[in-house]
Amino acid sequence: MDIKQNFSNYKWLILAMLVIAAILVAIGAPTLVPICVAIAGIVPVLVPDRRMIFLLIAVFVVLPLMYPMYLDTDVTPEVKSMYDAIEELESGSVILMSFDFDPATRPELYPAALAFMRHSVQRGHRIITMALWPLGVSLAEEAVRDVIIDDWNVENPDRTYEYGQDYVHLPYMPGGIVVINQLITSFDENFPRDIRNTPIEDIAAMRGVTNLMDIDFVFALSSGDPGLRDWIMGGADRANRRVAGAATAVAAPEFYPYIHAGQLVGLMGGLKGASEYEELIGILGTATAGMDAQSLAHLAIIVFIIVGNAMFFMDRRRTRF
């Protein structure tokens, strides 16, 4: 292994690491500076090819998770408006949570589900969960277990949330927009029974809920189609319900026009949106814990892009002359 050659090939990487170290000092997070310097010296020797980028990103993600730096994050208006909408609802209002995602996007959307459900429970709202994606049902059950059974009911034994009384799980229903359309007419036609096979008319949590018009707020966790867009079309525009959602970061930019048009009350975009909601409800969870790693990884990628472009233009200039 020609170590000297490796250092020569990866001088830009070394520069990038040093730039990141300088920025870390500037933003008041110097704990990772020695690691950046060490990476600048060691990685070109150990992994002398492009896979070192993977290794570096892994380092920048894992280390902040183990040694948090508690960098600040601001709450955006899209998340605040959703929070305010839930605050404005009277206690006991009916909230429909649609779990339209699967484990592939769990790291992004599950923290959002937990934060929103916590807030709804704090405010004393009734929760109905459903899923337009087959794997969403088990995620809804898991969220209820984490928020209500293991957490809320233990900490508030005098105000416990009971299945069937305060919340209910409706089963998976295929059809996307067709299902939403049918819900505008009738709930029990689509969902004759809950996931425990109890007839819908015998469930106290469903009292007074005959169709989508009886739902006070719709919150859709969406990682594709069917998902939030269908809820905007059916729930917001057709049924005139207040609809908000959490979307994967990849899909989030597509939903901003709907917020601007007033069709969407609010939006949690990816892990960042969930961390903002956690900050608003004052219970910091996994999303907030991941934001240091997110910020640092982004910083590394920005520096890589800048240095990579500089390298490209300098190389091109060199070959021209």
| Positions that interact with other proteins (CB under 8 A) | 49, 51, 54, 57-58, 61-62, 65-66, 102, 105-108, 134-135, 137, 171-174, 177-178, 181, 192-193, 195, 197, 229, 232-234, 236-238, 248-250, 252-253, 257-258, 260-263, 269-272, 286, 289-290, 293-294, 297-298, 301
163 vs 172, which CB is nearer to other proteins? 172
260 vs 318, which CB is nearer to other proteins? 260
314 burial (CB, 10 Å; 0-12 / 13-18 / 19+) is exposed
The nearest distance, CB 251 to other proteins, in angstroms, is 8
With b meaning 16 or more CB within 10 Å and e meaning fewer, what string describes 263-279? bbbbbbbbbbbbbbbbb
The nearest distance, CB 192 to other proteins, in angstroms, is 6
The nearest distance, CB 80 to other proteins, in angstroms, is 16
49 vs 87, which CB is nearer to other proteins? 49
* 69 phi, psi to nearest 5 deg: -110, -15
The nearest distance, CB 163 to other proteins, in angstroms, is 17
The nearest distance, CB 294 to other proteins, in angstroms, is 6
User: What strand order describes the sheet that includes 267-269?
Assistant: 167-172, 126-131, 94-100, 217-222, 243-247, 267-269
Cα 162 off chain centre by: 26
53 vs 281, which CB is nearer to other proteins? 53
13 vs 291, which CB is nearer to other proteins? 291
Q: What is the DSSP string of 165-218?
A: TTEEEEEE-TTTHHHHHHHHH-STTT-SB-TT--BGGG-GGGTT-SSGGG-SEE
The nearest distance, CB 245 to other proteins, in angstroms, is 14
Q: Which residues contact 253 (CB under 8 A, 6 or more apart)?
A: none
197 vs 319, which CB is nearer to other proteins? 197
Only one residue has tokens 């007074």, namely 208
